[in-house]
Amino acid sequence: MVYLNDFTFPSEDMEFDFFMKIKRTCYDSFYPFKILSRHGFSRINFEPVTILYGGNGSGKSTALNVIAEKAGINRDSIFNKSNFFKDYVNMCEMRLEDQIPENSRIITSDDVFDYMLNIRTINEGIDQKREELFEKYLDAKYSHFQMRSMADYEQLKKINITRSKTQSRFVRNELMDNVKEYSNGESAFLYFTEKIEENGLYLLDEPENSLSPKRQIELTKFIEDSARFFSCQFIISTHSPFLLAMTGAKIYDLDENPVDVKKWTELENVHTYYEFFKKHKKEF
């Protein structure tokens, strides 16, 4: 499925014309200007799965953030828009094949890390509350409370209910179970499977972070199936050879000047892996 058909970034000439109109020179950065144009990256024609590949600083995340802002899709984590981000986005153009669904979103590493941190924070709070309940149970069980008036009836009732239960049963009744805490990789994979629904446009910024090779392969299969069977479109920035090898993916190499479409087997990062394992072939 294709919702976003193509996207056009400002050219060097358009950026030059913009700067000529600016009279103030007090800014240290004009980000995101001059990031994508320096490698002649002016247009993307999308497929159901489109991948942006390139080294650090090549502009992969910048491109995703610009597309997400222009398309008005959901995001959880904030990002540095800079003083000129809105001006840059306004100069971009996009053409839709179909209306972008409301559940579409951009998912970044910050989103995944925040999700894992929230689970840990919740569990830490539950653990602390559990210790407090242990103390509360022991105080009630071994207290020498005496009822002096009807005003003390409710307190006596609570103490008797507490004494009628075992410590573990009392705590279970008073406290919610811990949110199941997985490993970082399991939590990250779970996050993607929960956020990616049917019929949506999803921008994924280096989703391989925190994922083991096995999990990366599982995520690749999940994305392939979502695009093929569940009417999803993906735009992904990645270094992962497993994601780059995705069936039917169109790959833009942002390390090239000008940016060019390549097969995954032609990419420098993939060749680095290939040469490394080839060198150690006899050890396997």
- Please state the rounded mean pLDDT for residues 7-14: 93
Confidence class for position 25, pLDDT limits 50, 70, 90: low
181 against 54, higher pLDDT: 54
Largest CA distance in the chain: 88
The answer to whether 28 and 2 are in contact (CB under 8 A) is no
The answer to whether 238 and 209 are in contact (CB under 8 A) is no
Distance CA 65, CA 109 (A): 13
DSSP 266: G
Output the six-digit token pair for 33: 């200007």
SS3 of the chain: helix, strand, coil, percent, to 5: 50, 15, 40
Q: Note the pLDDT tens digit of each residue in 244-268.
A: 999 999 999 999 999 999 999 999 9
Distance CA 29, CA 205 (A): 23
| Confidence check: pLDDT of 5 > 80 | yes
Q: Note the pLDDT tens digit of each residue in 193-216.
A: 889 999 999 999 999 988 899 999
190 against 6, higher pLDDT: 6
pLDDT value of position 179: 45
